[in-house]
Structure 1
């Protein structure tokens, strides 16, 4: 979930896993589809409706893009098969939202 450019999806595919790659951005889905050689589904975490579908869900550095009020890990739990695995990573802190939207961040310092 939240495959971005497809970097991790490609690594899993190369290891022999069957991957269902998903991202909420149409543009990133196009980029990742080309990179991993298969269709990437355009869907946001909030729209996850599957039940007992996945052996594992990998959400590396993607949950931070979901507003806290919309983050429901129970949807991920429902999408997992019994005994399934979930990996999610988060950033420290309490800030929610986007920073420096519309700016070239290479020229900004935080």
Structure 2
């Protein structure tokens, strides 16, 4: 069972969950499968170019990129528009189909923590996807991503700042991290932090979660 001690949401609010990790993962998967159309509509037009360009500045021309948790395919489409070769993976069959159609990129149904690629990608984009993994699966997933990167390859990830973990009312598992948590986990996975910064979805949205954004390179 997930611990109920010291659970804090991204704004410091108390949260509690007594759901098993397997049930939490299943509940999260079910949300994205059942709400795929709604999720696609709400995210496919979001403006993320600043962060995407920041990530791409670390990659070579014609880079091979894995979008780990590709969702609507919004970012896959951007990568292709910049001349890169991109592959998307997502645990949701419905979203994989939508992402492939929207982006024109190949997409596969796969879980981040189960990928077996080796030395294949110049960059991996994991935007708001790793935060849905149970905490015990986080470091193993980072190791999988590190193996999938070429020597000197670059990972972008974004998670929410906070403490503990929670099942939100919509059924999704969220696991929260501090900057120190992230730095230690990346170091253990063989990744060196190049850039780390905090952000909100809107500059004046003080009640929105704080995102920890990281660009790291294989050592």
Could you tell me which residue of structure 2 aligns to residue 21 of structure 1? Answer: 88
Provide, for residues 21-45 of structure 1, a one-character-per-residue CA deviation record: whole Å limited to 9, x for no partner: 1111111101101101233111011
Select which of 80, 85, 89 maps to 2:154. 85
Quick check: 1:65–1:97 contact (8 Å CA) kept in 2?
Answer: no
Could you tell me which residue of structure 1 aligns to residue 77 of structure 2? Answer: 10
Aligned length: 102
Any stretches of 5+ residues in structure 2 without a counterpart? Answer: 1-67, 172-219
Quick check: 1:5–1:32 contact (8 Å CA) kept in 2?
Answer: yes
RMSD over aligned Cα, in angstroms? 1.3
Aligned in 2, Cα 1:90/1:80: closer, same or farther, shift over 3 Å?
A: same
Any stretches of 5+ residues in structure 1 without a counterpart? Answer: 103-110
Could you tell me which residue of structure 2 aligns to residue 94 of structure 1? Answer: 163
Whose strand proportion is higher, 1 or 2? 2
CA distance in 2, matches of 1:55, 1:20: 12
Provide, for residues 60-110 of structure 1, a one-character-per-residue CA deviation record: whole Å limited to 9, x for no partner: 1111111111112111111100010011111011242431126xxxxxxxx
The TM-score normalised by the length of structure 2 is: 0.45
Residue aligned with 1:4, SS: coil
Larger Rg: 2
Quick check: 1:57–1:76 contact (8 Å CA) kept in 2?
Answer: yes
Greater relative contact order structure (CA < 8 Å, 6+ sep): 1
